[in-house]
Amino acid sequence: MVSPVKSILLKHPKDAFINQTKIDKEFIQLNYLDKPSFEKSCIDYEKFLNLIKSFNLEIHFLPIHESTSLDSIYTHDPCIISNRGVIICNMGKKERSQEPKKIKQYFQSIGIPILGQIKEPGKLEGGDVVWINEKTIAVGEGYRSNKEGIKQLQTLLGDLVENVITVPLPHWNGPHDCLHLMSNLSPIDHNLFLVYSRLLPVQFRKYLLRHKIELIEVPDEEYDSMGCNVLAMANKKVIMMKGNPITKKKLEQKGVEVQTYDGSEISLKGSGGPTCLTRPFFRKES
């Protein structure tokens, strides 16, 4: 999750939000914190897209589809990427139930193999899955991903993994809030993670430290502004939201190159940071 990104899947707000009328109709039902502006979302996204393009990679865009909601801008969640292909998720948020089908169709159209799919009663969302290393994954168990979904994921991955760590997630703001494991943890390099320890189980935090992973702590005052949701585009090269100066400084003090974008419309209101906005599907060490 930290090697240089070579191929990435995105969805532009012009194809996810479509227009202001769709936003006005859906944002309350989707539990957005506020109503996004379609015009400003598109402007801000173009600037975010320029940051992505600066990494000299192959960019794919999910097409418009009327059956998906505003949340389809967050391409990270409907699938999991493995070395043998894509695992299609089964969303814990019912309003997002059509997204896995559409993302599966897109990957098939460009020749990316599908390893399998999470099926009822299993629930699994991409934001709950973190590759700790080549053979170990951690999966958040909460309102979006359940025990059966984690079990199916382990079966599908087979010998690709040796250790699947289930990380219990707290109730926090309730079942309608978006709390993934990656809301509280972002890999920055192989041995460097950004974390919000107050929402991590003690045993999991001890596991990370025991395996020589250095933890950078996000301060309380920058958690709600998504200071913990940081996208690694390469080892120690990241994109994060503006408005988190303490976390940004902590990252830079560890030698991390940080680029920032205005996420007031495309991230904060829908609770989806730069990781959520992107689905890297091919990474390779330089």
For strands 114-117 and 85-88, give the pairing.
Answer: parallel
Cis-peptide, bond into residue 121, ω within 30° of zero: yes
User: pLDDT value at position 264?
Assistant: 98
Residue from 101, 93, 186, 81 nearest 145 by CA = 93
pLDDT tens sequence across 61-96 = 999 999 999 999 999 999 999 999 999 999 999 999
Q: What is the C-alpha separation between 75 and 233, in angstroms, rounded?
A: 15
Distance CA(226)–CA(230), nearest Å, equals: 8
* Other CB atoms within 10 Å distance of the CB of residue 171: 10
Rounded CA separation 151/121 (Å): 11
CA distance 10 to 233: 14
**pLDDT tens by residue, the chain, 286 residues:** 999 999 999 999 999 999 999 999 999 999 999 999 999 999 999 999 999 999 999 999 999 999 999 999 999 999 999 999 999 999 999 999 999 999 999 999 999 999 999 999 999 999 999 999 999 999 999 999 999 999 999 999 999 999 999 999 999 888 888 899 999 999 999 999 999 999 999 999 999 999 999 999 999 999 999 999 999 999 999 999 999 999 999 999 999 999 999 999 999 999 999 999 999 999 998 6
Q: What pLDDT is recorded for position 286?
A: 63
> How high is the pLDDT of residue 17?
98
What is the spatial distance between Cα 149 and Cα 201, in angstroms, rounded to a whole number?
20
Q: What is the pLDDT of residue 285?
A: 85
The per-residue pLDDT for 214 is 98
Going by the DSSP 8-state scheme, the letter that residue 128 receives in this structure is G
Cα–Cα dist 98/68, whole Å: 6
Instruction: Please classify residue 174 by burial: count the beta carbons closer than 10 Å to its beta carbon, then call 0-12 exposed, 13-18 middle and 19+ buried.
Output: exposed
What integer pLDDT is reported at residue 176 of this predicted model? 83
Q: Are the beta carbons of 202 and 147 closer than 8 angstroms? A: no
Cross-strand pairs, 140: 167
* Dihedral sign, Cα of residue 265, residue 268, residue 269, residue 272: positive
Q: Which domains does the chain have, with CATH numbers?
A: 5-283 (3.75.10.10)
The Cα 158–Cα 248 span in angstroms is 38
pLDDT of 190: 96
